[in-house]
Amino acid sequence: METYADKLAIFSLLDQLSDAAALGDVKAVKFLRDSLISCSTGGDSALYDAIHDVFYISGKWVRGMLDRETAQPLIQVAVDRALAVVESHRAAA
């Protein structure tokens, strides 16, 4: 089951990942993606899907398949979606 600490960790990591992508810091994005892997989604498919989108898009940028100008807004949209899912769970708790 997803705890408040899990939600807070996910929220923080997503926020930091968004900032790192905006700054073009590939090493930080890689580190934050690795950190997100260890966070529990508590079986929540909406949160899992939202984080999967962040991984998919940021992974393309990290591997050089997207340039920064293309990837950054896409990453921001995916992160915003994931943050909205986390926030909706906080409001419901």
List, for residues 36-87, the tens digit of each pLDDT value. Answer: 988 877 788 888 899 999 999 999 999 999 999 999 999 999 999 999 998 8
Number of domains in the chain: 1
CA distances from 19 to 1, 31, 37, 85 (A): 28, 13, 18, 19
Which is nearest to 77 in space by CA: 1, 17, 29?
17
The model's pTM is 0.87
In the predicted model, is pLDDT for residue 92 greater than 70?
A: no
Q: Is 23 helix (H, G, I), strand (E, B) or coil?
A: helix
Which residues constitute the domain of residue 9?
A: 4-92
- Cα distance between residue 66 and residue 92, in whole Å: 36
Which two tokens mark 32?
A: 């934050």
Which is nearest to 79 in space by CA: 39, 51, 44?
51
Which two tokens mark 31?
A: 């580190």
pLDDT given for residue 1 in this prediction = 46
At 17, the pLDDT band (50, 70, 90 cuts) reads very high
In the predicted model, is pLDDT for residue 29 greater than 50?
A: yes
